Amino acid sequence: MNGPVPRPGVLAIEPYQGGKSKDTSYVGKMSSNEAALGPSPKALEAYAKAAAVTHRYPDGGAHLLREAIARRHDVEIDRIVCGCGSDELLQLLCRGYAGPGDEVVYSEHGFLIYPIAATACGATPVAAKDDGYTVSVDSMLKCIGDRTKIVFIANPNNPTGTYIPRAELERLHAGLPPHVVLVIDAAYAEFVTDPDYDSGQELASWAPNVVMTRTFSKIYGLAALRVGWAYGAPAIIDVLNRLRGPFNVPTPAQAAAVAALEDREFFDKALAHNTRWRDWLFQRLGGLGLHVVPSAGNFLLIDFGSAAGAHAADEYLRDKGWYLRRMDSYGFKDHLRLTVGTENENRGVTDVLAAFMETARV
């Protein structure tokens, strides 16, 4: 071969397959853990207003946004960095701390970006066995060795929806050597209502090797604008600031995110909607004879009992315009993941699933 050759390992990466998004002919798109109620109208207003200054570069330091985050979460602004989605920050953490010969530990059924990001920078991803559907702190700690540079944990985890409580998170951190960066990916933190949950903010406020990542793509409904942030040890934030693009978050995205943070009324409505309909879906799907994993996020993992069952359900739903997420790439061939939708979507998709279960029984 004469053409350019990428670095070793790059072609070993399985490109990330997102939930269906190009096709807009669906009846219900419940495949990407997007916000059921969309964004706050105030965020859209701010976005439109900021469009008038598209000829100017954005504020590379995202000061107003970091100020708004610091106010809302009661954290120090200097410990925050914003990213082009939290995805950018997860990738940069790998670039900053891991390379060839290093290991990056993540949980067996954890978010797929972790092994992709690790492989992309030449490091070796190491999957720690889960305990059923839940992250096992013991098995994660068993995977730690001299070569470990980063441990990723999504809490709550995507695609299982389960979380480990504050005490377990602290036990994980306490078991790590100080040279290992603990990345607590709290993309779904806003949806959790359980009192024993901690987003990782507490550890990230003092531990020199902890960083928490957050996103505006989920409860705030700004997935298309790509805004995320990280909070943690100043030395880690410094590394991210050195590696990130100088203008990584566009002005309208920053403005929309500030307005979304300040619209508490809309936030409360989105949270109440998710809690109500997540419970409703859990009950309704259970009533259809399906096993559903209890979830703290805005989605549910549904077990169809076999890969053939899950694929048949997916085909049946797709045929009628309903998109769920296949889980083969996460090692859950028997499952589909369903994002909480609007009331109409939740009722509609479960009616179609009820009809599918009838055909499966015949």
List of residues contacting ligand PLP (CB under 6 A): 33, 85-87, 111, 154, 158, 185, 187, 215, 217, 223, 228
Whichever of 274 and 309 has its CB closer to ligand PLP, that residue is 274
Whichever of 187 and 270 has its CB closer to ligand PLP, that residue is 187
d(CA 300, CA 317): 16
DSSP string, 39-89: S-HHHHHHHHHHGGGTTSPP-TT-HHHHHHHHHHHT--GGGEEEEEHHHHH
Buried b / exposed e over 309-339, threshold 16 CB at 10 Å, is bbbebbebbeebebbbbbbeebebbbbbbbb
Whichever of 204 and 352 has its CB closer to ligand PLP, that residue is 204
Please report how close the Cβ of residue 146 comes to ligand PLP at its closest, in angstroms: 28
Whichever of 33 and 136 has its CB closer to ligand PLP, that residue is 33
Please report how close the Cβ of residue 214 comes to ligand PLP at its closest, in angstroms: 8
User: Which residue's Cβ has the minimum distance to ligand PLP?
Assistant: 85
Please report how close the Cβ of residue 226 comes to ligand PLP at its closest, in angstroms: 6
Whichever of 248 and 356 has its CB closer to ligand PLP, that residue is 248
Strands 325-326 and 299-303: unpaired
CB of 113 closer than 8 Å to CB of 94: no
Please report how close the Cβ of residue 48 comes to ligand PLP at its closest, in angstroms: 21
Please report how close the Cβ of residue 57 comes to ligand PLP at its closest, in angstroms: 22
Q: How many CA atoms within 13 Å lie on the side-chain side of 83? A: 26
57, with CB counted inside 10 A (0-12, 13-18, 19+), is exposed
Please report how close the Cβ of residue 362 comes to ligand PLP at its closest, in angstroms: 36
Please report how close the Cβ of residue 156 comes to ligand PLP at its closest, in angstroms: 8
Closest by CA to 95, choosing from 153, 141, 155, 149, is: 149
Q: How many CA atoms within 13 Å lie on the side-chain side of 200? A: 29
Whichever of 114 and 356 has its CB closer to ligand PLP, that residue is 114
Whichever of 103 and 185 has its CB closer to ligand PLP, that residue is 185
Nearest 5°: phi and psi at 313?
-65, -45
